[in-house]
Structure 1
Amino acid sequence: MSHTDSARTEQIRANLTAARARIEAACHKADRDPSEVSLIGVTKTYPASDVRVLASLGVTDVGENRDQEAAPKAAETADLDLTWHFVGQLQSNKARSVASYADVVHSVDRAKLARALGDRAAAAERRLTCLVQVNLDTGSQAGVIGPRGGVDPADAPALAERIAEHEALTLGGVMAVAPLGADPDEAFARLYEVAGRIRDRYPQATVISAGMSGDLEAAIGRGATHLRLGTALLGSRGPIVG
């Protein structure tokens, strides 16, 4: 390992230790067991070498939000036993590619996309776990997808049904991004309600993917089971190719 690699590993190790301390403190405050909360390392704009560092430190859940970056990175790290999470907005025409490497797709916000992912996963003889992305922006009208994507909370159970009924898909639960400028605690409380409605009908749909580097405490306080952390683990440096 070169000096540069070693320094990067120690930097990420320190960030990971700090992030886990934040998670433990938030869980303690919310009277939750930290083992209930999974950490996904979001590696967008970071090189595959950082994915390897995370894996060496025990972070094997990795997230990406662009297929053109995720697909080659997944191929480059295929020797590692990773769980790949696709967390970004997804066009239906990318379903074939994403279904070939992703294990969990967090951003399913319409029936057409669910069907495309399911059909492509079936063709590849794979099974995909899908989450219903919920739009928590109260300023948006019903049926209008906000800039961050997501289905209107009222329509989430129907989309959950579309996912659950496809033979190649597993309904995992829900995902959301707190709206910019909104109180994340209020937003994630709404997500928790939607999650409960879906879980009442599909008890296996236990995932609540909520919380990023800036609002993980609020997410944990409102029942998040999966956090999507990029900056907190890898820093805020600009795009790096590699």
Structure 2
Amino acid sequence: MTSGGTSGAPRPDERRAEIAESLGEVRGRIAAACAAAGRDPAELTLIAVTKTFPASDVRLLAGLGLTEVGENRDQEARPKAAECADLPLTWHFVGRLQTNKARAVASYADVVHSVDRSRLVTALSDAAARSGRTLRCLVQVSLDEAEHRGGAAPAEVPALADAIAAAEGLELGGLMAVAPLGADPLPAFERLAAVAARLRRNHPDARIVSAGMSGDLEQAIACGATHLRIGTALLGGRRAIVR
């Protein structure tokens, strides 16, 4: 999708109807998965991952009542957050984060899902303290040992969680994970649920389990996910932003 009125872009009313239909379908899937798992849909937080989509889509989502917004890259997220600063949004940074981007991300993100090493804890704490903000942080857990996707090994989670909980300007929220590519996500999400249960023994308030995307939200809900990161099922395939 493009912004700026190019001939290929749908009109705002058409795009709103398209997103509203997709949102209804996603909420229907969530309701069905919760019914199958014996859970209340109110336990789930739906995050719209808007990477590659324009700020106008964020505004349409907010108008439809969806105000939790996820972004993967600071270069795109920062201007989009600034453009939507008048909206009551919660911004989730869900992509891999370099330490040299911590200060920038801390200026607008409310929740950082991808904390996977101690250096990043230190960088985010310093950035939060400088900006006078409190960042909720999740430990990203690797479920497939694919280092390029980020994530700490399950054995590393307790120390990272302790570091976040003790750091100035940070609040430990829980865990995040991405299911392994090309494999049944259910066993991976079951492993994540076990890691989350162990975490709550020492940090009972760290109850967030961020897991589940467009293709595997049902399995994530079955394994106790509290936050779903949904992009394609809400907004369609990735499209270039033209400003």
Superposition TM-score, scaled by structure 2 size: 0.95
Aligned pairs (5 A) from 1:158-237: 158-237=159-238
Counterpart of 1:117 in structure 2 is 124
d(CA) in 2 for partners of 1:232 and 1:46?
A: 13
1:11 aligns with 2:12: no
Equivalent position amino acid for 2:127 in 1: R
Q: Which residue number in structure 1 is paired with residue 142 of structure 2?
A: 135
In the alignment, structure 1 segments of 5+ residues that lack a partner are none
Tell whether 2:40 aligns with 1:39. Answer: no
**Whole-angstrom CA distance in 1 between matches of 2:165 and 2:241:** 38
Of 230-239 and 52-61, more deviation after overlay is shown by 230-239
How far, CA to CA, are the matches of 1:90 and 1:200 in structure 2?
A: 28
**Residue of structure 2 aligned with 1:26, choices 12, 33, 43:** 33
- The alignment partner of 1:212 has SS state of coil
Distance in 1 between residues matched to 2:216 and 2:241, nearest whole Å: 25
Q: Deviations over 1:83-114 (max 9, x none)?
A: 00000000000000000000000000001001
- 1:77 paired with 2:78, answer no
TM-score normalised by the chain length of structure 1: 0.95
CA distance in 2, matches of 1:227, 1:92: 25
**Matched letter for residue 159 of structure 1:** L
Deviation at 1:194, TM superposition (A): 0.7
- CA distance in 1 between partners of 2:241 and 2:108 (Å): 22
Alignment pair present for 1:88 and 2:126: no
Moved more, 194-203 or 218-227: 194-203
CA contact (8 A) 1:43 1:64 kept: yes
User: RMSD over aligned Cα, in angstroms?
Assistant: 1.1
**Count of equivalent residues:** 235
Q: Does 1:51 align with 2:58?
A: yes
Aligned to 2:239: 238
Shift in Å, 1:167: 2.0
**CA positional deviation for 1:237:** 4.2
Q: Secondary structure at the match of 1:228?
A: strand
Question: 1:97 matched to which residue of 2?
Answer: 104
How far 1:61 moved relative to its partner? Answer: 0.4
1:46 and 1:241 in contact (8 A); partners too: no
Please tell me the residue identity of whatever aligns with 1:152.
A
Percent identical pairs in the alignment equals 64
| Deviation sequence 1:180-226 (CA, Å, 0-9, x none) | 01210000000111111111111110000000000000000000000
